[in-house]
């Protein structure tokens, strides 16, 4: 009888992770609203909000604020003892003697966001967080991952260069359990609802949006795309606008990868930055396969969203020697594409391994994401044929 009770209390597959998905999507919706406010300030005036990391990549108030906000929300929803997070930012710069103003700005940004939690269906703090509590929330994200147990991965602003330049970026949150990504959420605040507008600069869209009715599916609507492992579907909902309340699941609709499997008709994505990816090699592979379309160069994990939504068919990334891919840059996007019907592997065709800590260890050459298995097989073959003559 006791065993039967345990059996009855076990959640069904359709219910598994349902609370985690809902909380994660709501938290990412909030994070996107935060980012939109900060990016608006950044575009109008660069008022000291852009900092530099040790590796010289820009980091903004939004990075720390999103990390603090999401960390606090997950801890409140599931209990801080039950929440382990692998995330990109630490508090070293914020704790420096000359960073008091920056820390105050981050704290104000976090509290402004958390005050809106009820609008997103989440509980906010009873009183505003102090700077020590904000620092604690950021530094709580100190997990190093691994093969066992449960942990979240968070990239608070993926594609920081895109963010700073008023272009594409994403908020990426994923849950990993025993080395497997079990859910992923991608918030894409600047991802236009019409694919063709991706090729235009963000500021152009700001002008165009003033000419379109607010009810239309215009470029600036933004979206959140998410998936739960094993569900066989990826879902998309629009971002909330100011004063709009989140009614779950908020105009949700399924997304699916493209059915194109002919390389000559396919569109492929690649990173904008050349620093950690070889454009020349991907161009060579594309040419050898007969890909005729111009590559879609997009900052951040928006590339994964583009494939999941059927706006592109291929994403190839081949890092230069010495560069190691981090799990938070791929976890959410991988599960979303897989559940939308696509395939993501390394260049040997092996699944990406998220169980080895903060890096994708054992990665063979690069990452290949495709709209379907036929296209994927063709890409793998083309990479094999081109690799020996490359200088990577």
Residues designated as active site: 63, 160
Residue 329, annotated as binding a ligand: yes
Contact 346, 380 (CB under 8 A): no
In order of 4, 17, 189, 257, 294, the CA distances from 167 in angstroms are 54, 32, 10, 24, 19
Q: Tokens standing for 380?
A: 């793998």
Q: Tokens standing for 43?
A: 């575009």
Residue 155, annotated as binding a ligand: yes
Measured distance CA(88)–CA(158) in Å, rounded: 10
Cis peptide before 297 (omega within 30 of 0): no
Mutual orientation of helices 18-44 and 61-78 as an angle, nearest 10°? Answer: 160
Measured distance CA(191)–CA(117) in Å, rounded: 23
The 3-state DSSP class for residue 44 equals helix
Name, in order, each residue with C-beta under 8 angstroms of 217's C-beta and a sequence gap of 6 or more: 193, 194
Strands (E), the chain: 50-52, 58-60, 85-87, 150-158, 170-177, 180-188, 223-228, 234-238, 253-255, 268-270, 296-297, 314-318, 343-346, 366-370
Measured distance CA(167)–CA(236) in Å, rounded: 20
Measured distance CA(369)–CA(331) in Å, rounded: 13
Pairing state between β 85-87 and 150-158: parallel
Measured distance CA(123)–CA(115) in Å, rounded: 9
CA 306 to chain centre: 12
Residue 158, annotated as binding a ligand: yes
Measured distance CA(207)–CA(100) in Å, rounded: 36
Measured distance CA(166)–CA(201) in Å, rounded: 8
Residue 22, annotated as binding a ligand: no
| Binding-site residues from annotation | 88, 155, 158, 329
**Which residue numbers belong to the known binding site for Mg(2+)?**
88, 155, 158, 329
């Amino acid at each position: 009888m006791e065993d039967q009770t345990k059996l009855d209390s076990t959640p069904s597959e359709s219910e598994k992770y349902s609370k985690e998905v809902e909380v994660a999507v709501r938290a990412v919706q909030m994070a996107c609203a935060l980012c939109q406010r900060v990016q608006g300030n950044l575009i109008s005036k660069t008022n000291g909000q852009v900092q530099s990391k040790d590796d010289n990549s820009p980091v903004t108030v939004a990075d720390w604020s999103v990390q603090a906000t999401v960390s606090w929300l997950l801890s409140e929803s599931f209990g801080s003892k039950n929440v382990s997070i692998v995330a990109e930012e630490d508090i070293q710069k914020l704790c420096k003697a000359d960073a008091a103003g920056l820390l105050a700005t981050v704290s104000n940004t976090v509290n402004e966001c958390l005050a809106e939690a009820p609008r997103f269906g989440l509980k906010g703090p009873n009183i505003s967080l102090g700077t020590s509590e904000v620092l604690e929330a950021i530094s709580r994200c100190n997990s190093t991952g691994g093969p066992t147990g449960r942990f979240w991965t968070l990239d608070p602003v993926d594609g920081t260069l895109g963010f700073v330049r008023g272009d594409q970026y994403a908020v990426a949150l994923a849950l990993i359990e025993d080395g497997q990504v079990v859910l992923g959420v991608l918030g894409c605040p600047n991802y236009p609802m019409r694919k063709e507008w991706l090729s235009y600069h963000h500021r152009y869209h700001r002008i165009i949006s003033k000419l379109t009715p607010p009810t239309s599916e215009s470029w600036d609507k933004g979206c959140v795309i998410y998936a739960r492992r094993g569900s066989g579907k990826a879902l998309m909902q629009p971002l909330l606008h100011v004063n709009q309340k989140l009614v779950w699941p908020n105009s949700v609709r399924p997304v699916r990868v493209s059915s194109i499997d002919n390389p000559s008709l396919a569109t492929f994505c690649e990173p904008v930055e050349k620093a950690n990816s070889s454009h020349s090699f991907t161009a060579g592979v594309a040419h050898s396969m007969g890909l005729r379309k111009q590559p879609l160069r997009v900052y951040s994990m928006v590339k994964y969203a583009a494939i999941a939504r059927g706006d592109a068919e291929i994403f190839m990334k081949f890092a230069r020697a010495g560069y190691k891919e981090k799990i938070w840059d791929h976890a959410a996007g991988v599960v979303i594409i897989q559940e939308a019907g696509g395939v993501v592997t390394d260049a040997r065709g092996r699944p990406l391994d998220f169980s080895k800590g903060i890096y994708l260890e054992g990665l063979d050459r690069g990452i290949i994401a495709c709209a379907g298995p036929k296209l994927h097989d063709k890409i793998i073959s083309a990479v094999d044929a081109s690799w020996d003559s490359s200088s990577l």
